[in-house]
Amino acid sequence: MRALDLTSLATDYASGLDPETLVREIHEAIRKKGERPVWISLLPEKEVLARAADLKRRKDDNLPLYGVPFAVKDNIDVAGIATTAACPDYAYVPERSATVIERLEAAGAIVLGKTNLDQFATGLNGTRSPYGAPSSVFDADYVSGGSSSGSAVAVASGLVSFALGTDTAGSGRVPAAFNNIVGLKPTRGLVSTRGVVPACRSLDVVSVLAGTVGDALAATKVMAGFDAEDEYSRHAPRHALIPRDWPEGFRFGVPEEPQFFGDEEAEALFRDAIARMERLGGVKVAFDYTPFGRCASLLYAGAFVAERTAAVGEFAEAKPGSMYPVVRDIVLGGRKYSAVDAFKAQYELQKLLRETEPVWNSIDVMLLPSAPTIYKIADMVEDPVRLNSNLGTYTNFVNLMDLSALAVPGGFRSDGLPFGVTLVGRTFEDGRLAGLGDRLHRALGAATYGGSSRPLPGAAIQGGDADYINVAVVGAHLKGFPLHHQLADRGAVFVRTTRTAPGYALYALDTVPPKPGLVFDGASAGNIEVEVWAVPENEFGSFVGLVAAPLGIGTLSLADGTQTKGFVCEAHAARSGKDITGFGGWRAYSAAR
């Protein structure tokens, strides 16, 4: 089977491959493997071939996902094919596809079929389905992770370029870890959930499983955007999906006493991931995970479970024999909670949000195990509640706290089973996580693609975006200084702190408010501290219009050899100013005054 990552596919299409040929190849591979337990249903091959033929006629159109095959978790609607949520008696045939499917198809992607899941997306292990239990692609005795089990295995098996999952408590991250792939869990509301069978409607997100961060991000960019038909859709900032460079010295938080339930190999691999983050320029900051753990427990050990009852409780009561017993018990368990309990749970969540604010003030990102260990299918079936709960140790809190998350491979145990780690960021830091997550994935020794032995394809994700223009600020526009609001008002995004190349001098000018002037004379020491901010392209003109003489916007050379737009000063004004180059920057000079 040919490589289906976006880089390889683009090369193959440029070399003459057509979408119809690709569809036939994939269907042949699926026939050889068998549909179960990965797939619940496939679209008829003739129908998919017709879609591929139509795409071939439109190959010159601007289709960012031209001919890209993908799979869909079977709690997401695809028009004309049954949505089961892994419960045959619940099945219905939607007339319209979910918003995410409509957007992906409009971009040229090709739906192949619906994948298996833990019934009603209730579980993190992949064993709770009447259609069979998918296993890790590395060992058939071990769980695939859930609830997006079939989607993860389809990607790791090389049958699709990416697959959609859903993630309420970790369902797009745990299966990524157990199959050596990437799981991008977007911030709530960034991607529409119209047309998704709800688990916990206020917390659900549509996630993307792919072999690389770049592929997951490409699909997410197509799906993202406000949807007036989804009451939980949000107007995300434009920078939400823009990868950013991470400056030297970024702070990553790790739990003071991480829990692995006795799994020494997982613990060792997590230590290796910490070391990789440090080699990437990060500084480890240990934090107390206790309040995050208490938040995680709210999802299943408190009134929040009643939201699952609100979603499918009526069906569970009407047809209890149609549901997996453990799923039915969880769903109906929400009946015991009152409205008072629900409010108390909300109060406890707000308390925990406030309690954890100091942690986020001390770190830029979290590094966590995606799952603390992995279990055999037989053991999970024997002890389904406790072991499943263990898998969610580091995932359950994320959506409750409205955070972004990205799971990436973290290496292999001595028995060949994979381990994964997750980066957790603030709300709408999805793109920022992607920039770091891709670097972390590629820093893994002998990193491979899914269940294959192929090295990671393509180039590393680069920071920046065509819709933004980077501007280096050196004085009054620095964060915390009088004119910084001119950047903030325009939605500018912080990129990094860095320094100029040699040859620059800095002068204190006689202005109100006080400002410095940066001048290139070719002889001065340079090494002047600057902050680089990404300004939305459509706001750049208005920002430049506020820059008053003797300052202007020119092109600066930075210490790392790159160039960027930035503040410069007319030489005549600098001659009457005070040379403060020796301070190394306006912030240091201001502190010394």
Give catalytic residues, as residue numbers. Answer: 73, 147, 171
What span, in angstroms and rounded, lies between the C-alpha atoms of 467 and 243?
12
Exposed / middle / buried, residue 357 (Cβ in 10 Å: 0-12, 13-18, 19+): exposed
What span, in angstroms and rounded, lies between the C-alpha atoms of 45 and 36?
17
What span, in angstroms and rounded, lies between the C-alpha atoms of 159 and 39?
11
The DSSP string of 426-473 is STT-HHHHHHHHHHHHHTSTT-B-TTSSPBPPSPPPPS--TTEEEEEE
Distances (CA, A) of 561 to 554, 557, 569: 16, 7, 21
Q: Strands 39-42 and 110-115: what pairing?
A: antiparallel
What span, in angstroms and rounded, lies between the C-alpha atoms of 422 and 424?
6
The angle, 0 to 180 degrees and rounded to 10, between the axes of the packed helices 213-223 and 6-14 is 80
Question: CA angle at residue 257 from 444 to 267, to 5 degrees?
Answer: 35
The gap from C-alpha 214 to its chain's centroid, in whole angstroms, comes to: 10
Write a three-state SS string for 14-25. HCCCCHHHHHHH
Exposed / middle / buried, residue 231 (Cβ in 10 Å: 0-12, 13-18, 19+): exposed
Q: List the structure tokens of 455.
A: 């090295």
Q: List the structure tokens of 424.
A: 């957790």
Q: List the structure tokens of 388.
A: 């499943």
Tell me the HSE value of 494 on the side-chain side, using a 13 A CA sphere: 15
Report the run of H or E that residue 555 belongs to, with start and end. strand 551-557
What span, in angstroms and rounded, lies between the C-alpha atoms of 332 and 316?
7
Q: How many helices (H) and strands (E) would you count in the chain?
A: 21, 21
Residue 545 DSSP SS3: helix
Residue 325 DSSP SS3: helix
One-letter amino acid for residue 374 of the chain: I
Exposed / middle / buried, residue 460 (Cβ in 10 Å: 0-12, 13-18, 19+): middle
Are the C-beta atoms of 568 and 577 separated by less than 8 Å? no
What span, in angstroms and rounded, lies between the C-alpha atoms of 305 and 312?
12
What span, in angstroms and rounded, lies between the C-alpha atoms of 20 and 443?
36
What span, in angstroms and rounded, lies between the C-alpha atoms of 550 and 39?
66
What residues have CB less than 8 Å from 450, skipping those under 6 apart?
137, 155, 156, 157, 158, 179, 180, 181, 211
